[in-house]
Structure 1
């Protein structure tokens, strides 16, 4: 049994702590905030409950496997509803806002269904001959997902991958093709209709990568969202956070809030017990409580579920940093965002649970998000209306809206209004509020809700600087390092320090990557690494924590 300190009580921190505690370790989480959840946060205001983080529940089998590792089921943790697809509204980015004298835009609506047959029929309706091509595309996406789950996503890459395995040998030709071209080129070569291309490329943005730079293996996302479909946990992701929190406590995890870790302590020594290249081994952490009092907590293992850049460059001494500041100069950042949470009086029937507003010339918007060019006044954005599926997130007769406007984290945008009651002082950036206003106006025009702005009764915003302030996010990013090829799979950093024995990483900034399912997998990768398990693939249930007890 090891004494483990986990830094951060976001989803990755809670998930890691629960697994390690169930595996017999003594675990404490130190969380700098006043509550758990991290980026999967929430705001309660006037009867509305807003998720301020993830809202797409994808890769259900990852959630199911993780729940089984804890000796439970995902059905026992949350009440899931399967959503029947989502909607895309496509319009021109050049249409002037109404305030500038622009007229009503021409907007195309595409209701994207769930399931291979329905999606293929949709493709055929847009482009003759595309139905069969879509079946082939989705079959390829399924193959890419299968091999990724078996060989890459659950792989800690602490040993040289066995490229002689039958599965990899059989997929060599496909892997070469998937890794040598971009997702945009892969889908553009197969479909002509611009909406079909966007349906197959937009989800790269959820991975923090420009589809023009994402490796084509990420077309696996099309199987996930078009065939497996999107689910919704009643109560939002807040409900999943609460369930995970309860499981961690049930396993004996201690959680200390308002505890800011300021240093990871390591003994500098060399010896045969240390891995090659190590310069030290974990001894504990230094942290300050809400009153500013400094504490030292001994630990045999430290798992940082905080931002990796912050962990490496601020919490470790220079000679103990595996990835010092100079390494981040060569790292490609993912995007940031402006988040807008709205309580709206009356109904919004033209907006389903999930809606993507995509501009027809969306490469202009991609340049703004990933290259830092000016953000267009009319741009691609995402709208979630959870009150379409859940009457518990808004008062009767009102709607709950969440808007996400992707932006570059490197253009200097500041804070939004933040979380009500937050003790951290922040000045609201008028540029953030301006983008929020433009997004509300765009939704009003494109979704045909002309009086949307007048019906807003509650409004909260978060800007890029809030990610930096609240989560120490590198370059104010929303997600973490981009999933370009050289930052994916075995090329992504983690899950263990190369300089400090006993130091591990979990969360979106390490392997396997961004998103809630990847954070759950990262927890399992820490467990595998601590066990000395270098195998790919999920841990078998007969080796799960607690299985032998």
Structure 2
């Protein structure tokens, strides 16, 4: 039995400070405490969860961010590393249909929960598309499995992933998938624009556009069309609750309302390896709570906060691996207009997940990601109605509605607010979006039935989450910002300073942030393997 399988500590126990209590920070804290380290988690806000927060008003309970439960095996793997399981921590249900798509030119499609039914649906939309989809999903599954086995769990400390026989055998295909945009990949296989949009939209989950994201990311279709979409009863706050429980049980000390202002360093001790050119090493962090400044010592610091914010505000210029000049050449993912709506009466016109797609697909994404950006109008957008599945999130006789509209990462668009209390541009956009949903989904009295309304804009992402340029997700998953091209999870200038979360490898989304936490463990262990850490034997 290896030390990993037995759960023995692989490195000497250290004092660790983790900055940021989102998914990445919570997971990192929990895993490092499980390793035997003494871990303190510092979170700027009053509650942990980051983007995956919770907000309550008038008997409604809203998830403030993530609402698609994908890659369930990655989430379960995290909990198993902590000695439990997703089944023990969460009450998961499978959604059927997985989601509904409403098209600008009229009509709607319900995407069912199993592959055979999806194949029949595609065939009904385009002759021959059913057989083509089977090939497409086989390819997506293969891409997903090789990514999970060789790339997603790699720290890229070595190029070992690229010389494995299973990777070498696929190199020509991998190269093609990396160099060809997802939209082109889909267009070569399907003619119906509705199918193209269903298969291309998952690029948005990666903070990108189907016209820019590499076609390697067609693997996303395996997740929703093959595996299906799950929902944790009680909302995504139950996932955060579960993560917090296992972190605290492992010994993590969580301090909220703790706004870190600096990562404190000291000159590097002479005599280190000549290959390690880091000029300094961490000695702790300084944070503010209610106007009081406190310093806390640490042997290791992991920042799961926004990487731009960490590097450009918490470190002096000479110790920044990613200074402002680096970010000027990066591409942000989109920001978003978020709406939290409590609605009187029922809304059968909306599924648990509903997507509204504009006809001019290229123009919609060009406005968000082009050189000259603007807010699309009308916009492709996403609506979540969790009360379709979960009666606990809204009062009896009411619906809980969450709306996400991808828009440019531009803080000048403004802030949102409660009951039309946001900036005028944000509230005007919110009015237009409510009107669009009303018209396209056939809910003529939607605006009149809203009893709770809160908007959230790009400036809110910057203020609350220190998000670079107000992005809602992080750096976009285009080729030059994916895999080993993405920000490293280790500082090149400061020893024992590491990074987790959506800004670094492997990327955006709940599963990726969980994996980023595991990569910190692998860094500290000196583990250059390319797959998930072995799970402890079941008790």
Task: Please state which band the TM-score falls in when normalised by the shorter chain.
Answer: over 0.9
What SS does the aligned partner of 2:405 have?
strand
User: CA deviation digits over 1:217-242, x for unaligned, max 9?
Assistant: 00000000111011000111111111
Written as runs of structure 1 = structure 2, the 5 A alignment for 1:99-498 is 106-269=105-268, 271-273=270-272, 276-290=276-290, 292-371=291-370, 372-410=372-410, 412-417=412-417, 428-498=422-492
Contact 1:270 1:278 in 2 (8 A): no
User: CA deviation digits over 1:44-93, x for unaligned, max 9?
Assistant: 111100111000000011011111000000011111011112100001xx
Structure-2 separation of matches of 1:535 and 1:22: 20
What SS does the aligned partner of 1:412 have?
helix
Contact 2:94 2:230 in 1 (8 A): yes
The residue that corresponds to 1:89 in the other structure is 102
Structure-2 separation of matches of 1:150 and 1:162: 9
Cα deviation for residue 134 of structure 1 reads 0.6
Cα deviation for residue 410 of structure 1 reads 2.4
Matched, 1:56 2:68: yes
Cα deviation for residue 370 of structure 1 reads 1.2
Question: Structure 1's 272 and 127: CA in aligned 2 closer, same or farther, altered over 3 A?
Answer: farther
Cα deviation for residue 205 of structure 1 reads 0.8
Contact 2:411 2:469 in 1 (8 A): no
Structure-1 separation of matches of 2:484 and 2:336: 27
User: CA deviation digits over 1:275-294, x for unaligned, max 9?
Assistant: 5221111100011112x111
Written as runs of structure 1 = structure 2, the 5 A alignment for 1:493-508 is 493-508=487-502
Cα deviation for residue 427 of structure 1 reads 7.6
User: CA deviation digits over 1:117-136, x for unaligned, max 9?
Assistant: 11211111111111111100
What SS does the aligned partner of 1:136 have?
helix
Cα deviation for residue 273 of structure 1 reads 2.9
Structure-2 separation of matches of 1:502 and 1:403: 40
Matched, 1:46 2:58: yes
Structure-2 separation of matches of 1:156 and 1:440: 43
Matched, 1:26 2:53: no
Structure-1 separation of matches of 2:384 and 2:161: 42
Unaligned 5+ runs, structure 2 = 1-12
Contact 1:48 1:394 in 2 (8 A): yes
Contact 1:336 1:476 in 2 (8 A): yes
Structure-1 separation of matches of 2:393 and 2:491: 41
Contact 1:14 1:248 in 2 (8 A): yes
User: Number of residue pairs matched?
Assistant: 524
User: CA deviation digits over 1:481-516, x for unaligned, max 9?
Assistant: 000011101111121111111111111111100000
Structure-1 separation of matches of 2:245 and 2:535: 22
Contact 1:495 1:526 in 2 (8 A): yes
Structure-1 separation of matches of 2:343 and 2:384: 13
Structure-1 separation of matches of 2:34 and 2:245: 13
Structure-2 separation of matches of 1:132 and 1:230: 22
What SS does the aligned partner of 2:151 have?
helix
Question: Structure 1's 162 and 35: CA in aligned 2 closer, same or farther, altered over 3 A?
Answer: closer
Structure-1 separation of matches of 2:294 and 2:375: 44
What SS does the aligned partner of 1:519 have?
helix
Written as runs of structure 1 = structure 2, the 5 A alignment for 1:67-86 is 67-84=79-96, 85-86=98-99
Cα deviation for residue 161 of structure 1 reads 2.9
Structure-2 separation of matches of 1:115 and 1:267: 56
Higher mean Cα deviation, 109-118 or 332-341?
Answer: 109-118
**What RMSD in Å do the two structures reach over aligned CA positions?**
1.6
User: CA deviation digits over 1:138-182, x for unaligned, max 9?
Assistant: 000001000100111000111223422111112112101101201
Cα deviation for residue 399 of structure 1 reads 0.3
Contact 1:415 1:427 in 2 (8 A): no
Structure-1 separation of matches of 2:373 and 2:534: 47
Q: TM-score, normalised by structure 1?
A: 0.93
Q: TM-score, normalised by structure 2?
A: 0.95
Structure-1 separation of matches of 2:200 and 2:277: 41
Structure-1 separation of matches of 2:521 and 2:417: 38
Contact 1:59 1:517 in 2 (8 A): yes
What SS does the aligned partner of 1:343 have?
strand
Cα deviation for residue 411 of structure 1 reads 6.4
Structure-2 separation of matches of 1:393 and 1:250: 28
Cα deviation for residue 270 of structure 1 reads 5.3
Question: Structure 1's 108 and 307: CA in aligned 2 closer, same or farther, altered over 3 A?
Answer: same
User: CA deviation digits over 1:233-287, x for unaligned, max 9?
Assistant: 0111111111111111111110111111111011122534355221111100011
Structure-2 separation of matches of 1:235 and 1:369: 33
